[in-house]
Amino acid sequence: MNIRFAAALAFLVLASAAPARAIDIVPAPTVADARAFVARAEGELEALNVKYAFADWTYQTYIIYDTEKLSADTQLALSAASARLAEEAKRYEKLDLPADLRRKLTLLKLSVVAPAPQDPKEQKELSDIQAWLQGEYGKGKYCPTPDKCLTLPDMEDVLRDSRDPKALLDVWKGWRTVSPPMKAKYARFVELSNKGARDLGYKDTGDFWRAKYDMDPAAFSAELDRLWSQLQPLYDSLHTYVRSRLIEKYGKEAVGDDGLIPAHLLGNMWSQSWENIYPLVAPPSAPAGYDLTKILESRKTDEREMVRFGERFFTSLGFPALPATFWERSLFTKPRDREVVCHASAWDVESPQDLRIKMCIKTNAEDFTTIHHELGHNFYQRAYGEQSYLFRGSANDGFHEALGDTIALSVTPEYLKQLGFIDQVPGPEGDTSLLMKMALERLAFLPFGLLVDQWRWKVFSGEVKPEGYNQAWWDLVEKYQKVKSPAARAATDFDPGAKYHVPANVPYTRYFLAHVLEFQFYRSLCRQSGYQGPLHRCSFYGDKKAGDSLQKMMALGISRPWPDALEAMTGSRKMDAGAVAEYFAPLKAWLDAENAQRAK
């Protein structure tokens, strides 16, 4: 007899004769189990998020080693818990769940921006890298001489005010000396974040990010292409006109004959906004109009009062005033005694009442508009604050940015007259100038808003390797913005890291979507308020119907797919750049006529 067979037979005989033993069987999960799990997860994540928010606020407003470590440690705890809970959530995915519970499980997986790997050591490494990258950016300076160092705001002032190409080029290159040391750590960050995304079932972090838009990632990429195809003709008309005017100012030799614009001549560190060169490209025969910066300066409007004006816009729509703690805890000016991250941001530290903004405010038109934008975030945060933790957020991240910009679009001459800033609203003859200023800010931004994540998605997917980071960046800048580097760049440079949102790991497609949605929101609110004139002249300041419509949409948070929220306010379930075209239609006709004349 086969010895193995005999042994097996003996085992079976003995086993059948032995008394039965209890076997631990894990029962299949139920819907009730899933609901209990989600409730526990929300409570745990909310507590950790509050701790991280306090630590990160302290770090960003007081950059030292100790606060960097506190921020990194609390971020690590939050990331680790998110990764663990996302893994646990898989146990309930095959259940037939109610829609709200199914959505919460999905959002639980997508709740972080940089998904952490399962390995605790790698989780800590990822968190440390993120904190270090933000700190390097926040501390960044350019020292042209041993006894003179310039901060980013200092260099932005030069780009705004100077018309000396050498001075412009110096600060443009100078700021980009800050980012090369970030490159190696950023490459490691990509590796770790991708590993975390794959642990959750996604191809890479870019695939993970695109999954947050209630549609297939590939379909979302196609949607971006569709929207850009609607917008590109507008941008091309503006670009052609601006380039011709810059040639008039600096000469064809300085600009070149390749159809591109040198980045340092556009008045902004990243060429993402061109309003600072308005005096160079202003319509020749248009009235000068008003200068909001000079108006604010003449009124001796301080930083806090600038914020008060923004708050009063929202209270005019029927929203309650901001809590007293907002005024006590926000950062409005850059402290003299320490380093801070000056990049403007809105915070809900202890949702929904501990609202704050962090901003190094200057008394100028740009910051006046930015304040309205940032407060839009705060009022949105408060509106969805009564939702459960996983449903606190905007319908998609573009909605959050769009809400603030929608309010900013209402900063029209009609609004400024209501504030007493101007005595008389300019007539239609001033519309070309007003639209040109808006186009230099909004239209000029569109391709940049698209390309940042186009670059990151290529990096996350592995299509672009670290040695090709910089070349891939400039390839996209030339493709979308039709802008070129004014100086030779090397593979060792890391120009993407000179933009805050890259080292801070803030997704950027939201800003492109916002610049589409804001005009769609704006047109809808203007129509609801009964306005019937040219779209660019509308201000819904003081209109309670507009406020009610905003409140209904904002209160949904992220509890429903974004098309539901869009429909709640606009009646449409599809993003549409047609409102952008309607807003700028008079300027488009003028630009095309000017370009045709200059081409002769």
Question: What value, to the nearest 5°, has the Cα angle with vertex 482 and ends 477 and 483?
Answer: 65
Identified catalytic residue from 372, 377, 400, 536: 377
Question: Which of helix, strand or coil describes residue 346?
Answer: strand
CA-based nearest residue to 188, from 114, 108, 261: 114
Q: Cα–Cα distance between 33 and 36 in angstroms, integer?
A: 5
Q: Is position 401 annotated as part of the catalytic site?
A: yes
Q: Is position 501 annotated as part of the catalytic site?
A: yes
CA-based nearest residue to 247, from 233, 259, 236: 259
Residue whose tokens read 């690590």: 76
Identified catalytic residue from 239, 372, 373, 400: 373
- Eight-class DSSP state of 357: E
Other beta carbons less than 10 A from residue 170's beta carbon: 18
Plot region of 557 (φ>0 → left; ψ -120 to 50 → alpha; else → beta)? left
Q: Is position 377 annotated as part of the catalytic site?
A: yes
Identified catalytic residue from 46, 343, 350, 585: 343
Strands 261-262 and 148-151: unpaired
Q: Is position 374 annotated as part of the catalytic site?
A: yes
Q: Cα–Cα distance between 557 and 92 in angstroms, integer?
A: 24
CA-based nearest residue to 590, from 361, 374, 284: 284
Identified catalytic residue from 511, 522, 541, 583: 511
Identified catalytic residue from 167, 344, 555, 585: 344
Residue 132 near residue 185 (C-beta atoms within 8 A): yes
Residue 401 near residue 509 (C-beta atoms within 8 A): no
CA-based nearest residue to 526, from 495, 553, 549, 554: 549
> Which residues does 348 contact at the CB level (< 8 Å), separation at least 6?
53, 354, 355, 356, 378, 381, 382, 385
Identified catalytic residue from 239, 372, 501, 536: 501
Instruction: List, by residue number, the catalytic residues.
Output: 343-344, 373-374, 377, 401, 501, 511
